[in-house]
Structure 1
């Protein structure tokens, strides 16, 4: 059977995080490193997450790799594409989030694409378009001194406008909390205004599930792992994937190895 959801992640640890989120919501997921070749198999997976090294790669390379991943995912039947980046919007004024999103949006002929790196479980929330890390705005958190992607602005609209070619608007929390019809009405209004990207507020997991439901017909969604919480239910409601099963991981006996893939404050 073809996959229904294809994800393009800009690094390996983020891809793993996303795969874990989708499995937790009852999807069968395969994660691959790099764009698969023609011999690749994924069994009965509902979703495939392609892990790239595009977060800090040269912009041209990041775009090329992401478009190659998109082409492969489409060839395998993916109905919806999720461009996954870090919940702290790790990027520079030149990209790579904006340029990659531009390329994917153009390839998929999308009128409006969501921007939602929120992941409340990990302390990342968005309010009035401002990204918070726990109680601090992004630019006041430890991310301000990241060696590769120092984040010196907390406003996602300004950050996205600086590195993309599209006009950026906002879907505020007051709209999100009114539910799916209100979100969709705001999307239509933004499209009429010529907006290409909509930063959407999310304060909790309930908001993310509502956003996911509102975006059921979107060809492209961008964000952190949290935005994936509401997507599996859309496919399940259309009979595209099996009913949700218990996804508890069984413990193994013996010794364990823990790998830390980050030097972030949270990891330390």
Structure 2
């Protein structure tokens, strides 16, 4: 039976600045459910993206995970083992995520090698994945380089590559950054399709409250490396409790001439 819950608990990430220890993330715990979207929101610098990096064991040099545990269902799992097979990941700014001298076929081959996944025909598997995320002429995409694709197309390719290992969960870190509004909608539609069609659990890391309202089931609000509020999305927008949450919702509503009740 497929595992329905990924539990991430007690994450603590530190670094040294000016000879002093600085805590970037302190005691962060979240649970991602199959078939649901959990949005992790907060202002820039609140610790959202570095938390994702900590969970996926890809922290930058000089940054250290001091604590943290992960459980897949009722079984403990290492953070390194999450990446790829259990958790697919898509990062912000897709253009910077691709090697400009490598074709899409080469990127796919590199991804499959890292996952330890083999297909009888690599091209057929990748073409199917490209078609699955709505790319036109998926076979023609194989020989293209990143500069030949738009930002929206690259984001779809990144999602397709993240799905090659058939992971049950997906971490999407600012998946609509630097995309125009129409493309943003298409990417959010695609993520919603993954939830409904694959029963995938998604952690959506974002500061875009419009995307949260559109896609999320539950919301965790982060500030200075800690969770300050967690609630269903309807409650977050209708009755935000923490001042940080109220500020995020108020900033979003002000775009439409509305105010927090």
TM-score by length of 1: 0.32
Quick one: higher RCO (CA 8 Å, sep 6+), 1 or 2?
2
TM-score by length of 2: 0.33
Name which one, 1 or 2, has greater alpha-carbon Rg: 2
